[in-house]
Structure 1
Amino acid sequence: MRASRWNETENAEAYAAFTHRFPMYADTSRDVVERADVSAADGVLDLCCGTGATTRVLLPRLPDRAQVWAVDGSPAMIDVAKAETADPRVTWIRSAAEEVDRCRAAAAPLVDAVVCNSAIWQTELPVTFAAVRRVLRPGGRFVFNIGSQFLRYPGQQPRELPPETANVVALMRQAAIEEFGYQPQPLPRRRQPLTPDGIRTELERAGFRQLAAEDVEYDDPPELIQAWLEVPIFADNVCPGLPYPQQRRALELAVQRVVPGPREPARWCLVTASAEPAHT
């Protein structure tokens, strides 16, 4: 079920509601867009655009002549994005990130920047980086971010989840067992954590020069955890196979039972790269 959740209207609408309710996506979008240097751009590609949060941050920062190609693999996410973003400069395209170089018309010009907010780790990096390089003009910027739980620094163990989030997740599973007789299923397999050196190496192989890799912190209010897990695809990460109404009830019970503790800001790594000229 999980693989199809991204294509469900219910999930897309819940995801969009989350992005409107909390500033996290607006904040991460702002930082990604600022580093893409788009003030004089003719064309920008928003990779893994979701329900359009980053596209809407991009638009007022672009010249009137500029075009945006907003690309996502989920038709449901694109439908919601279209409904919320009425700007003729945007072309919405359904495509996997790994095939972004094949999703536009053959005569489409190379773009000045590619941005990807809160999604790059879900793609196959070598293939995605190579595809992005093929649509980006020499010297153009490629900017993306990675949450700390998907990144491992030298000498550190990968950070699965912040402590309070991990507590809510554990209590949600326990409530599902007690209330609904839930039999825990194997959780979705997580990808191997990325490393700073590995990211830099893959960028260089694809024809990029990494300009910066910054650690950035964002506010992580307690109520964000519940709202995040109300999105069906993220509820499936906790209790796969349990019907969504029961997932919601288990989450409500978990939030009632959790003992608040010290909170840490959400940590992200923000990577900026430049497309190197092609060798002849």
Structure 2
Amino acid sequence: MEYDALTGWDDDSTAETYAAFTRAYPMYSASSRDLAARAGLTNSRVIVDLCGGTGTTAEAILALAPPDATIVSLDSSAAMQRIGRHLLTDSRLTWVNAPAENLAGHVPAHSVDAVVCNSALWKTNVAAVVTAVRRVLRPGGRFVFNIGGAFAGVTHPDAPVPPTGPSLTTLIQQIATRDYGIAPPTAAIPPKLPLPAITRLLADAGLDVVAAEVTGQRTTTAERAAWLSIPVFAHPEGALSYEQKMAILAEASTRTRPDDATVTSWLVIVAKLPEEAA
């Protein structure tokens, strides 16, 4: 089976591997806590966890939300949400199985204090999602999200540390070329959502950017390898089977040190609907 990082999330194997990863490693839980802290949830009554998956971000929101708050975790993957329902049983949390673009069809207009979206916005129709978010936010409400560094075209100052040897990704590509003749990508891919572009999309919807920060997250080689074992993220991209990709990953991992670390870059944005908005 071929998995796709944009459309392949409604799959039991992907959901189970992803959930196991989030419990074993801090990548998503740490970024979720960061976003939730920026959302100003102390007095929030209604909060949306957009593209919520198995509920890692919802868990961070629940830790900060008031006792009488309502949290809506919306995601298009039923497989991811099946796991989330077992992991999180807080009565404040409601699960909605729907695409992010359809948010406004499931949450009343002008009712939401904060929308939080972790590691997912670039996988959506961004303009449609921003429009939907603006419709559900109350005046003064916040939209807090992050964009992966490659998609935003940003690099944290701590990221360009000279590696001790070839990276795991480089080794995977070398093995794929050696064993399957798969050539590495040659053309640089322009960033999909640089800050000026996302600022324009937000402004077109009536949202103001009130904070934008490039953050860095420490990632060990062991964590990176575990992340690459999630079917939708397995490398190299293309026609190889998941089993073939895992064999490549296993060989590449033997040529790295699990505790070696790199810094992953993120663009974190806090947008707000002005208080005077109708």
How would you bin the TM-score normalised by the shorter chain? 0.7 to 0.9
Q: Structure 2 counterpart of 1:210, which letter?
A: V
Structure 2 equivalent of residue 39 of structure 1: 42
Q: TM (normalized to structure 1)?
A: 0.85
Q: Measure, in 2, the Cα distance between the counterparts of 1:261 and 1:67.
A: 40
Report the CA distance between 1:184 and its aligned residue: 3.5
* 1:21 matched residue in structure 2: 24
Question: Number of residues paired by the alignment?
Answer: 268
Q: What per-residue deviation string (whole Å, max 9, x for no partner) do you get for residues 64-117 of structure 1?
A: 11101100111111111111111121111111111111134xx57711100001
Q: Name the aligned partner's letter for residue 269 of structure 2.
A: V
Task: Indicate the SS of the match to 2:219.
Answer: coil
Q: Is 1:110 aligned with 2:111?
A: yes
Distance in 2 (CA, whole Å) between partners of 1:99 and 1:5 is 19
2: CA distance between counterparts of 1:29 and 1:167?
A: 26
What does 1:248-259 align with in structure 2 at a 5 Å threshold? 248-258=246-256
Superposition map of 1:1-280 within 5 A = 1-3=2-4, 4-104=7-107, 110-152=111-153, 167-176=167-176, 182=180, 184=182, 192-235=191-234, 237-258=235-256, 263-276=261-274
SS at match of 1:238: coil
Query: 1:120-173 CA deviation, whole Å, 9 max, x = no partner?
Result: 1111221111110111101001100112111125xx9xxxx9986983234224
Give the partner amino acid of 1:133: R
Structure 2: runs of 5 or more not aligned: none
Q: In the aligned structure 2, how far is the partner of 1:191 from the partner of 1:74?
A: 28
* d(CA) in 2 for partners of 1:94, 1:166: 41
How far, CA to CA, are the matches of 1:86 and 1:262 in structure 2? 36
Contact kept in structure 1, 2:49 and 2:57, CA below 8 Å:
yes
Question: What whole-Å deviation, never above 9, does each CA across 1:206-262 have from its counterpart, x for those lacking one?
Answer: 111110001222211121111111101111x42422222222111000111347997
Mapped to 1, the partners of 2:166 and 2:54 lie a distance apart of 27
- 3-state SS of paired residue (2:175): helix
Pick which of 260-269 and 192-201 moved more. 260-269
Structure 2 counterpart of 1:151, which letter? A
Residue 263 of structure 1 deviates from its aligned partner by 4.5
Kindly indicate whether the alpha-carbon contact (under 8 Å) linking 2:222 and 2:259 is maintained by their aligned counterparts in 1: no
Give the whole-Å Cα distance in 2 for the aligned partners of 1:73 and 1:162. Answer: 37
Gaps of 5+ in 1: none
Q: Is the contact between residue 184 and residue 239 of structure 1 (CA under 8 Å) also seen in structure 2? A: no
The 1-side partners of 2:44 and 2:109 are apart by: 15
Asked if the contact 2:110–2:139 (Cα under 8 Å) also holds between the matched residues in 1, the reply is no
Q: Provide the aligned C-alpha RMSD in A.
A: 2.8
TM-score of the pair, normalised by structure 2: 0.86
Q: Distance in 2 between matches of 1:170 and 1:9?
A: 29
Q: How far apart are the structure 2 equivalents of 1:258 and 1:61?
A: 38
CA distance in 2, matches of 1:205, 1:247: 42
* Structure 1 residues 110 and 163, CA gap change in structure 2 (3 angstroms): farther
Q: 2:29 corresponds to which letter in structure 1?
A: A
Question: d(CA) in 1 for partners of 2:104 and 2:161?
Answer: 36
DSSP-derived class of the 1:30 partner: helix
* Sequence identity percentage: 35
SS at match of 2:197: helix
